[in-house]
Structure 1
């Protein structure tokens, strides 16, 4: 690939994009939620394992179920967000590998290997979570990704069969830019990177 995105596109995805906590009263179309996943699923994962599973909470009632599991700082902003996504990973993602990685049977790498499954599933769902944020921005939405919740309680409430495990939450919608604080500093290249 030799195409480079324009400065405008890079701004939308990275430079000008911000983490939002305040939201405009504007609905998010289910078509956009589908569009996000259609982009996310194309990003690379180990053995194309695609362990990410997304539960979109689109009603106030569904988000109220989440409220008791949220830290105090995350509760109010989640209740007013148009959508909250629970980004989770499938502990048995390897069952779908014959479809996702048809070149060879790699299920034996994971079956009966709980620790390896957890490392692979969590790492790759985190990777897909990053794709999720970029994809949401690419389709015109703002994001408010969050930790600050009780994973075990979220899993018990929303994934009671135990197959899915929550990774992180992300509020989605149209952020109120007038309520943003100044951007926090970032590390310079020489503080974070080395070239050997």
Structure 2
């Protein structure tokens, strides 16, 4: 069982950050985040997430041209922005990732199943990335407001990867947080049958 402090760090006291301190995030931290998140479960160990960690000023400028107005400034000031992509040909890795069964034919040629599996599992992996980032002491700010076609053309051209969502990473500036929004209660959101 995790300690109360660990649960607070990952969930109860964690916040979606919109402002960032001018404090760098290291390559080693990004590698540590990936090395934690990669162990999170995905169906048939499909692991479709592909991540671009945008750290350089040149690449950040390219990304900013893809962002919705409301996400521009917080992305501009974030030390790192993770583009969580989904490899639409993830099934080509299944002989390596799921070697105990011939799983590639479950997906190859079945676009609706490919689309659903890539989206669902890269979303899970993006959530694992956020928890891993929090676990190593960073804050997160996930976003959906961007031009997906432009992100794909800019960062994934010539590949089978498409963007799922974007998440800023760094040390959050608590002075820029909004008051915490409420959540649904167990009875509002859950049913035991």
Same fold (TM over 0.5): yes
* Mapped partners of 2:179, 2:118: distance in 1: 35
**Equivalent position of 2:47 in the other structure:** 50
2:114 counterpart of 1:117: yes
* Mapped partners of 1:97, 1:24: distance in 2: 40
**Equivalent position of 1:155 in the other structure:** 152
**Equivalent position of 1:9 in the other structure:** 6
* Mapped partners of 1:110, 1:59: distance in 2: 36
1:7-51 CA distance string (max 9 Å, x none): 100000001110111100010011110111111110110100100
Q: Give the SS at the match of 1:144.
A: strand
**Equivalent position of 1:186 in the other structure:** 183
* Mapped partners of 2:186, 2:107: distance in 1: 37
* Mapped partners of 2:80, 2:130: distance in 1: 13
**Equivalent position of 2:37 in the other structure:** 40
TM-score for both structures, normalised by structure 1? 0.96
Q: Which runs of 5+ in 1 are unaligned?
A: none
Decide whether the 8 Å contact of 1:155 with 1:162 is kept in 2.
no
Decide whether the 8 Å contact of 1:66 with 1:154 is kept in 2.
yes
Offset of residue 59 of structure 1: 1.6
Q: Give the SS at the match of 2:25.
A: coil
2:24 counterpart of 1:27: yes
1:71-112 CA distance string (max 9 Å, x none): 100011101100000000101101110110010111111111
* Mapped partners of 1:92, 1:70: distance in 2: 26
* Mapped partners of 2:55, 2:153: distance in 1: 19
* Mapped partners of 1:191, 1:34: distance in 2: 38
* Mapped partners of 2:67, 2:176: distance in 1: 22
Q: Give the SS at the match of 2:115.
A: helix
TM-score for both structures, normalised by structure 2? 0.98
Offset of residue 60 of structure 1: 2.1
What is the Cα-based RMSD across aligned positions, in Å?
0.8
2:98 counterpart of 1:104: no
**Equivalent position of 1:64 in the other structure:** 61
1:89-143 CA distance string (max 9 Å, x none): 1011011101100101111111111221111011100011111111110011000
* Mapped partners of 1:115, 1:125: distance in 2: 15
